[in-house]
Amino acid sequence: MTNFHILAWLVNNDTLGLQIFNSEGKLNEDPYGIVGLLDAIALRCSNNNNNDSIKQYELAVKKWASESPIWATVQELANAVVSDMPPSPPLPTQSDSYRSALSGSSVSLGVGPTSVPKSTWSSQTTTPSGITEQRNSESSHWACSHCTFHNSPDTDECEMCRLPRRG
């Protein structure tokens, strides 16, 4: 996922109120909305890559993020999702071979409509009381042929760019 994907998702998410245009079709000029963020980003794009302009850009984005009630909502949503996620599967160690590190994985290049095969992983954790817990995760997604975003299997259009699923 890239910064473009995040911006596209923010602008197209009806519940957040970060749309570029309001319900009347007029430009949404709220400085704490998406226009305020885009103005901060434009500051970076319009200036040279000297240290002062980079600092101005960083300050503008931080100011927008700290004052935007909509961004506070996005942060709370992200925190809620992260707190409910299972732990990440263990990473391969240096002693693992390249082949064993890649076994069971799949890579999508986004060339066409791609179905990502169902993959599973499991991990064991031991609680302080000595009880071993087994955690499993299963996922099945499809990659959008337009923007390569990986979508839920039950959707007929891309959750990011809203273009139809092909294939």
Q: Residue ranges per domain, the chain?
A: 3-84, 106-167
Between residues 135 and 3, which one has the greater pLDDT? 3
Residue 144's pLDDT band (boundaries 50, 70, 90)? Answer: confident
Mean pLDDT of 16-40: 81
pLDDT confidence tier of residue 123, bands split at 50, 70 and 90: very low
Closest by alpha carbon to 44, among 33, 31, 58, 32? 58
Global pTM? 0.43
pLDDT digits (tens, 9 = 90+) for 99-118: 444 444 444 333 334 444 44
Q: Which residues pair with 121 in a beta bridge?
A: 137
pLDDT for the residue 139: 55
In 3D, which of 152, 149, 133 has the Cα closest to residue 141? 152
